Amino acid sequence: MGGSRNNNEGGCVMNAIFHLAKKLSFDPRSWAKSDVEAAELGWFPGHEQPDNPLRWGNSFPEGAKATLRNTQMRRNLGYATTKIREKRNTRVAEMPDWEDLREAASHIKRTTMARLPELLEEFEAKVTARGGIVHWARDAQEANEIAYSLIRAKGVDEVVKVKSMATQEINFNEYLAQRGIQAWETDLAEMIVQLAQDMPSHIVVPAIHRNRAEVKAIFEARMEGAPSTMGNEPRELAMAARAHLRKKFLSAKVAISGANMGIAQTGTLAIFESEGNGRMCLTLPETLITIMGIEKIVPSYQDVEVFSQLLPRSATGERMNPYTSFWTGITPGDGPQEFHLILLDNGRTDVLADEVGREALKCIRCGACMNICPVYQHVGGHAYNSVYPGPIGAILTPQLLGAFDHRDPAASLPFASSLCGACFDACPVKIDIPTILVHLRHRYTEANRGGLPSIWDVGMRAAGQVMRKGSRMKAAGKLAHPARVLGGPSRRIGNIPLPLVKNWTFVRDVPAPPAQSFREWWQERDEDPATTGHVDAHTSSGAHKTCGCGTGKNSPSAHGCGCGHNGAGSCRCGEEKGSRTYSIESAPQLRTGEGEK
């Protein structure tokens, strides 16, 4: 009986511990489950496909806690981003006019945003004139419904896809799968993510969080017809994927694509890619459906010259993309004979309405901001819980969703930055991401005013009351002295598990308060004759009061007056002996000791 009772009590204690750990997002049982799953699969399990790819359900801090525990992912990410960044830097160094190109691209994009309605109408007219059919979609639901109806009309149960962030954004593949249609990703990295039943973690390199050993395991387990002798060398993996995809290319009747840009002047669309899968999808199938965000418009064909130099260097460190494809409507007997273009809004007009935030629509999806961002390099793309990770995701996702309520997980994204500014320096279209982040933080703060004050509200109001008066600041400075002992011999304070400061001190050391505050040092300096240049003995030993500096009757040699009274009827402070207009306020240099020079 006693043993049974002790076992029950022990079980209750353990359950209570696990329950508390789960509430604190610290659940060892979930880690064990992930470890077992990883051992069975041969790769670390990724994120399951969410209902809304722009909002996965967790805030950034919660997502970061989970990804930081995945050491393999962090190694993969650090290696890949470093290589891409080095290649980019080499290619950029070759361009003497790089900054001019950035400025030109920024100007083109700003002009586009200012003229967007008329440019979209011009683009629609030109596409229609060349045999294309243009559809307008206000949101993800409309875009998916339009595309599905077109695919269903063709009577097919599978389609091939070019890599597209727009289709990721609207959960296109999953929408089709629920209706019995399989969408095959043909980009190698996107195919890896799809086979692993994972989510992308980078705009340009979706599987950047995987290494080749994991890719080999994924292919062996999930790819139809994977060679039994396949190794983990990149070439072997690429050849296996190529053989698998070729069958899909040759049999597909319908292809789905995105677009890097649409040219309003001619109705032309463009795709920049490195593998050739895009060219196959754009030429072999009978029907092509392109889903493009409305911000991808550029006014003229000449504008392509600027972006074709910026995009490949910023995205993959190449002088130019191996495959750059342009198409304009339909050409009889060449390529798809039916072309549909779906122009997607999905929150973009709301972003356009924000005079500061609209800069995010300049993005050309190169990923350069991610490769340089110290936050992204440590936590990875999945921590952002959106298909748009990194610095650009931190400013784009909340605006697309209108996520500014503190209860919305996506509202935490503007705070996922150190504001170091590296992203702005790397961006080929000069999006001032740090400024937009601060702007969105302000919008978040304003949106959450009222109601019960948060701990931050209470803390800031208390700090405001202290900072309102000098006497209160002086008292607060004295109260800080006892905290000096917390620094110990190193004079640095570590983690403090208290509200307001715990998030900061959890990852940063804070210098201990100094032995002497600035106010105390200043007061001590004021009282030191050697620094003020005046001696009280002047007035106590019969000094005349005709000079406001208080110099005595005798020469400075008798009293050592630091103000520089020269005994000849004038004082170096600029006042005559008989003047009574002098005041300390009119000559503050005497108080600071500058009059001694």
- The pLDDT score that the predictor gives to residue 576 is 44
The pairing of strands 261-263 and 268-273 is antiparallel
User: Helices in 316-408 by DSSP H: which ranges?
Assistant: 348-352, 368-372, 374-379, 390-401
| Per-residue model confidence (pLDDT) at position 451 | 77
Is 127's pLDDT higher than 90? yes
- 106: closest CA among 384, 340, 298, 292? 298
The answer to whether residues 591 and 550 touch, using CB atoms and an 8 Å cutoff, is no
Distance CA 318, CA 321 (A): 7
Q: Which tens digits make up the pLDDT trace of 230-247?
A: 998 999 999 999 999 999
Q: In this predicted structure, what is the pLDDT of residue 490? A: 84
What's residue 583's pLDDT?
41
- The residue with greater pLDDT, 508 or 237, is 237
Residue 540: how many other CB atoms lie within 10 Å: 9
Least confident of 71-75, 160-164, 186-190: 71-75
How many C-beta neighbours within 10 Å does residue 427 have? 26
In sequence order, the β-bridge partners of residue 184 are 160
The stretch 388-411 carries a mean pLDDT of 96
Mean pLDDT of 201-218: 92
Classify 267 as helix, strand or coil: coil
**Calpha distance 203→387 (Å, rounded):** 8
Question: 289-298 pLDDT, tens per residue?
Answer: 999 999 999 9
Cα 136 to Cα 132: distance, rounded to the nearest angstrom: 13
- Is pLDDT at 18 greater than 60 in this prediction? no
More confident residue, 590 or 16: 16
In angstroms, the CA 174 to CA 177 distance is 5
Residue 570 above 70 pLDDT?
no
| Between residues 470 and 343, the one the model is more confident about | 343
343-382 burial by CB neighbour count: b if 16+ within 10 A, else e?
A: bbbbbbeebbebeebbbbbbbbbbbbbbbbbebbbebbbb
Spatial separation of the C-alpha atoms in residues 27 and 66, rounded to whole Å: 11
- The lowest-confidence range among 234-243, 337-346, 524-533 is 524-533
pLDDT at 5 over 60: no
Q: How remote is the C-alpha of 218 from its chain's centroid?
A: 29
What is the spatial distance between Cα 194 and Cα 202, in angstroms, rounded to a whole number? 14
pLDDT at 470: 87
CA distance 439 to 456: 18
Q: Would you state the structure tokens that stand for residue 54, as one six-digit string?
A: 């722009």
Encode pLDDT of 308-334 as tens digits. 999 999 999 999 999 999 999 999 999
Under a CB-based contact definition with an 8 Å cutoff, are residues 282 and 288 in contact? yes
Q: How confident is the model at residue 557 (pLDDT cuts 50, 70, 90)?
A: very low
**pLDDT of 588 higher than 60:** no
Looking at residue 536, its pLDDT comes to 46
Three-class SS state of 202 = coil
Tokens of 387: 């298909």
Question: Whose CA is closest to 60, among 437, 565, 357?
Answer: 437
Cα distance between residue 529 and residue 259, in whole Å = 75
Q: What is the pLDDT of residue 577?
A: 43
Confidence band for 565, pLDDT divided at 50, 70 and 90: very low
Which residues, in sequence order, are CB contacts of 597 under 8 Å at separation 6+? none
Computed on alpha carbons and rounded to an integer, the radius of gyration of the chain in Å comes to 33
Element (DSSP H or E) covering residue 269: strand 268-273
Is 208 in contact with 381 (CB distance < 8 Å)? yes
pLDDT for the residue numbered 13: 61
Query: Which of residues 551 and 381 earns the better pLDDT score?
Result: 381
- 53 with 387: CB under 8 angstroms? yes
Q: Percent of the chain, pLDDT > 70?
A: 81
Q: What percentage of the chain reaches a pLDDT higher than 90?
A: 62
Q: How confident is the model at residue 311, as a pLDDT?
A: 97
Rounded to whole angstroms, the Cα distance separating 584 from 494 reads: 45
Span 71-89, average pLDDT: 92
Amino acid (one-letter) located at 191: M
Task: Please state, rounded to an integer, the average pLDDT across all residues of the chain.
Answer: 85
Domains plus CATH for the chain? 11-41 (no CATH), 68-349 (3.40.50.10420), 523-596 (no CATH)
Segment 396-423 shows an average pLDDT of 96
Query: pLDDT-derived band of residue 513, with 50, 70 and 90 as boundaries?
Result: confident
- pLDDT of the residue at 215: 93
Question: What is the CB neighbour count within 10 angstroms for residue 553?
Answer: 15
pLDDT tens by residue, 436-471: 999 999 999 999 888 777 777 888 888 899 999 988
| Residue with token string 């789960």 | 22
Question: Closest by alpha carbon to 325, among 245, 254, 268?
Answer: 268
Which contacts (CB < 8 Å, 24+ apart) does range 573-578 have? 573/547, 573/548, 573/549, 575/547, 575/548, 575/549, 576/547, 577/544, 577/546, 577/547, 578/546
Q: Are 319 and 312 in contact (CB under 8 A)?
A: yes
